[in-house]
Structure 1
Amino acid sequence: MTVNGLPAAGTPPLVTQDSSSLLARYYHLVAEAASRYEPSATGGDFEPSMRLPELDAKLAEFLSPATAGLHDLGEYRGLPLRLLDLRQNPHTQTTKTFASLIIVARAVRYIQETGRPLVLFSPSSGNKAVALRDAVARALTSGLVQQEQLRVVTLTPAQTTGKLRRSVLSEDPELRALNPVFVLNDAPPEAVKQVGQEFKRLHADSGNDQFQLWHSLRLENYRAADIVRACFDYEFGQAGHTDVRTVHAHAVSSAFGLLGYASGIEMLKERGHQVADPSFLLVQHLATCDMVLHTLNGSFDRGNVPEYVKLPDGAWVQDASAHFPQRTWSPWETLEHTFYTHEPPTAPEMSGLISANGGKGVVVSLLECMERYAECRELLQKSSVTLPEDPRRLTEWSLVMAVTGVLNAIDRGLLPDADGVTIHASGTYGMDDYAPLPNEWINYVDNAGHILDTVLNKAGS
């Protein structure tokens, strides 16, 4: 309950410790959120408990990269724009840092309690793989676990090989062998999920008991960490202004981040805080616009994508829907390879939130992003984010997609009831921001059996 708009006496404090790390700052709330998503004992697949380690100085240092920033970008057509920068960890430059640190913290507790080695396995479009590898490297360098106790194995599609980075895990030959990076040859990006499931099955059938394998794909592994977005927005941003309708914009594949934000808002309400119900703007690309389709039509039927007509100059155009690109170089375009999920199971929940609290979906094209690139760059100069002057050097387009989607939505009158827009900066980086993983340190594979052979060979060496 609340008294005069403030939490009642006895309400647990929001802030666990005064820290720039959001995970350490709101640690008790993150731990409480995690406890609500304990995996089912009848699920069949191994997953460690959602319980987190006790927060001490060593763990707080481990969590230190999970910082964020809020920046006013000025107004566009009279609507205030704000940036929630969640990609401040220089070793990942994406919001995947938050969930990856919590996943690894859970793995650390499991290892400490059982003494059993654990191998994290993650199929990924690229960013999650980079973030998990960074989190495991931090756990090793901070002394939370030893290199034989915690390992990470990742599988990414060939289309996103350029996103893979050098790190502590790649520089040392022993760590490189213990923590292999696999790339799937000659397959669509989403195939990494199917091959990942097959690898998990093959491992179970192998009878190997040298380590526990954790296939960390469950949504709740991410939702618990992403509640800190709402806590930070409440403490420093707009979430506490119940008289203001703020739209939260995000370039999404499955919208894990926005669902985490929504869960955080509900937890704040439970604790007696007065918070605003957020509206959402989902931004996607044409190759996988499934969440926008579901929001608009209640289904994933691609028959609801407007029909495009090709012009003599090669561009495709349509004017039937304000929610889709007016101009594109291809009606089937893959703008950013990190967004590859078809028919995400999170769509009904996200569509329900938008139906209840307001919001929209908008699809953007590379042509639109290029046409607005200078405008995006100018807006973001008011924040901590720097885009390369030459867009050809940009290798992660999530944030440019989000900003372009917001500007297009405002231009097309899709946000008539908004008092402002908070853009979630979930990821952006260019060629000059990191050292790519050398090709000779990548394991190219065609099937799950190749992955199992490599992982078990190292485990037995």
Structure 2
Amino acid sequence: MSVNDRIAATSSALATHDHASLLARYYPLVAEFASRYEPKSTGEGFEPSMRLPELDAKVAEFLSPATAGLYDLGERRGLPLRLLDLRQNPHTQTTKTFASLIIVARAVRHIQDTGEPIVLFSPSSGNKAVALRDAVARALTAGLVRPEQLRVVTLTPAQTTGKLRGSILTEDPELRALNPVFVLDDAPPEAVKQVGQEFKRLFAASGCEDFRLWHSLRLENYRVADIVRALYDYDFGQAGHTGVRTVHAHAVSSAFGLLGYNSGVELLKELGHEVADPSYLLVQHQATCDMVLHTLHGTFDRKNAPEYAKDPDGVWVQDASAHFPQRTWSPLETLEHTFYTHEPTTATEMSGLISANGGTGVVVSLLECMERYAECRELLRKSPVLLPEDPRRLTEWSLVMAVTGVLNAIDRGLLPDADGITIHASGTYGVDDYEPVPEEWIHHVTGAGPVLDTVLGRTHS
């Protein structure tokens, strides 16, 4: 049964609106929860209110891509596996759609209330930039704002340029000028955050008052949207089964999605619902395995990672820790460039949840993902998620990482108390799924100055 049919056939006290979009379905709860996180006036930059626009036909259409699905994938060593598919928007194929729609909805409400134009600025590893651009495009096509009222500027690492997707914001010359795409060259991926802060400082010093610049980085921008994962899971999944210990597995950089899910669980409890306390499995890669290290050892210290030795065949191996790859092509491998955050501020909260309710962390290598690729593909055949036959055509590895991490964790006995596992499908796509942004429409920069000049329309003779 499709998610639309299941929603239509189900009555829930949580659902106020009969929409396939989870954000529209639970809109009053999302709006109420958002109101708890009003930004404080710190003088460090503009952020609009957490208020959302009224849910009318235009807003419902704008929110329509935020759909999800739950699918049984069978069992592994007696443990039921389920997929929570959150990457159904064909224009992003990642769960970043949910938070991006809420961010843009807040911008729309501010514009409606004040008439002030907003420029959204997002330094991103790639997927957030794509989702924010899609959300802005949707707001324009839904007639919620005019092109000069809401714009988006993104800055992404050179390493993830191939993830950038074409849309009306690139195809239309006027929209392309209003919504430029910047790529940071000659720098490690995480440098986009530092350059983003410098751009914010330069903008403040410029004295420009033509628009408000919103540098949307707060965790709450994501926590609010991701509560719908738990609300949906309560309606259709395992969240309401209090006698069942379900592990929620997610490929993470900062674990915003799982923290949002947990906030949704706490909201359900506030509303008087019987809800199971979830356990969590964090899946990371070796380049940024900081959250796994913190979960296991309470610190980000790399000395706690196992040491590897090179086999005669050139593969690096270790057997000291079941939480790290047994085999890898490189002990410091970057498997997926979208995961670039070192020492995330969310680690303490996430580690506390795992300590209290169970779960653990596991790090995977590209070699392990390749060795399990056919197995992952077969498991996912029980869902609408189709991996390309040739793994070289895959350009987003989040879901394969998550599934590989789950299989490794089960086979290595890392989840002894689990009754079942729900895998959060946060992203997967391949080169055949989208048209990339043409190279001639990308602004390559090495610092914040050219970004500001372009955004302010400055020209150089």
Q: Normalising by structure 2, report the TM-score.
A: 0.96
Please give the alpha-carbon distance, in whole angstroms, between the structure 2 residues aligned to 1:165 and 1:363.
29
Please give the alpha-carbon distance, in whole angstroms, between the structure 1 residues aligned to 2:447 and 2:418.
48
Aligned position for 1:67: 67
User: Shift in Å at residue 334 of structure 1?
Assistant: 0.1
Q: Secondary structure at the match of 2:457?
A: helix
Aligned position for 1:326: 326
Aligned position for 1:271: 271
Aligned position for 1:193: 193
Q: Which amino acid aligns with 1:32?
A: E
Aligned position for 2:170: 170
Instruction: Tell me, yes or no, if the aligned pair for 1:178 and 1:458 is still in contact at 8 Å.
Output: no
1:6-36 Cα shifts (integer Å, max 9, x gaps): xxxxxx9411201100000000111111111
Q: Secondary structure at the match of 1:265?
A: helix
User: Shift in Å at residue 45 of structure 1?
Assistant: 1.7
Q: Which amino acid aligns with 1:347?
A: A
Aligned position for 1:457: 457
Aligned position for 1:343: 343
Q: Secondary structure at the match of 1:82?
A: strand
Number of residue pairs aligned between Structure 1 and Structure 2: 448
Aligned position for 1:5: none
Please give the alpha-carbon distance, in whole angstroms, between the structure 2 residues aligned to 1:420 and 1:41.
44
Q: Which amino acid aligns with 1:232?
A: Y
Residue ranges of structure 2 left out of the alignment (5+ in a row):
1-11
Aligned position for 2:9: none
Q: Which amino acid aligns with 1:388?
A: P
Please give the alpha-carbon distance, in whole angstroms, between the structure 2 residues aligned to 1:44 and 1:101.
24
Q: Which amino acid aligns with 1:122?
A: S
**Which runs of structure 2 are paired with 1:301-450 in the superposition (5 Å)?**
301-450=301-450
Q: Secondary structure at the match of 2:444?
A: strand
Q: Secondary structure at the match of 1:432?
A: coil
Aligned position for 1:259: 259
Please give the alpha-carbon distance, in whole angstroms, between the structure 2 residues aligned to 1:236 and 1:351.
27
**Which runs of structure 2 are paired with 1:201-280 in the superposition (5 Å)?**
201-280=201-280
Please give the alpha-carbon distance, in whole angstroms, between the structure 2 residues aligned to 1:128 and 1:33.
22
1:404-445 Cα shifts (integer Å, max 9, x gaps): 000000000000000000000000000000001110010000
1:90-145 Cα shifts (integer Å, max 9, x gaps): 00000000000000000000001111110000000000000000000000000000
Please give the alpha-carbon distance, in whole angstroms, between the structure 1 residues aligned to 2:113 and 2:19.
27
Instruction: Tell me, yes or no, if the aligned pair for 1:398 and 1:427 is still in contact at 8 Å.
Output: yes
Aligned position for 1:138: 138
Instruction: Tell me, yes or no, if the aligned pair for 1:223 and 1:256 is still in contact at 8 Å.
Output: yes
Instruction: Tell me, yes or no, if the aligned pair for 1:177 and 1:458 is still in contact at 8 Å.
Output: no
User: Shift in Å at residue 43 of structure 1?
Assistant: 5.0
Q: Confirm or deny that 1:123 pairs with 2:114.
A: no
Q: Which amino acid aligns with 2:138?
A: R
Please give the alpha-carbon distance, in whole angstroms, between the structure 2 residues aligned to 1:124 and 1:42.
23
Please give the alpha-carbon distance, in whole angstroms, between the structure 2 residues aligned to 1:327 and 1:171.
44
Q: Normalising by structure 1, report the TM-score.
A: 0.96
Aligned position for 2:86: 86
Q: Secondary structure at the match of 1:221?
A: helix
Instruction: Tell me, yes or no, if the aligned pair for 1:255 and 1:350 is still in contact at 8 Å.
Output: yes
Seq. identity, %? 84
Aligned position for 2:18: 18
User: Shift in Å at residue 42 of structure 1?
Assistant: 2.6
Residue ranges of structure 1 left out of the alignment (5+ in a row):
1-11
Q: Secondary structure at the match of 2:303?
A: helix
1:386-418 Cα shifts (integer Å, max 9, x gaps): 000000000000000000000000000000000
Q: Which amino acid aligns with 1:280?
A: Y
User: Using a 3 Å threshold, how does the CA distance of structure 1 residues 43 and 225 change in structure 2: closer, same or farther?
Assistant: farther
State the superposition RMSD in angstroms.
1.0
User: Shift in Å at residue 312 of structure 1?
Assistant: 1.3
**Which runs of structure 2 are paired with 1:39-54 in the superposition (5 Å)?**
39-54=39-54
Moved over 4 A (4+): none
Please give the alpha-carbon distance, in whole angstroms, between the structure 2 residues aligned to 1:334 and 1:250.
17
User: Using a 3 Å threshold, how does the CA distance of structure 1 residues 53 and 458 change in structure 2: closer, same or farther?
Assistant: farther
Q: Which amino acid aligns with 2:359?
A: G
Q: Which amino acid aligns with 1:151?
A: R
User: Shift in Å at residue 155 of structure 1?
Assistant: 0.2
User: Shift in Å at residue 458 of structure 1?
Assistant: 6.9
Instruction: Tell me, yes or no, if the aligned pair for 1:323 and 1:363 is still in contact at 8 Å.
Output: yes
Instruction: Tell me, yes or no, if the aligned pair for 1:223 and 1:260 is still in contact at 8 Å.
Output: yes
Aligned position for 1:109: 109
1:142-165 Cα shifts (integer Å, max 9, x gaps): 000000000000000000000000
Q: Secondary structure at the match of 1:415?
A: coil
Please give the alpha-carbon distance, in whole angstroms, between the structure 1 residues aligned to 2:203 and 2:43.
17
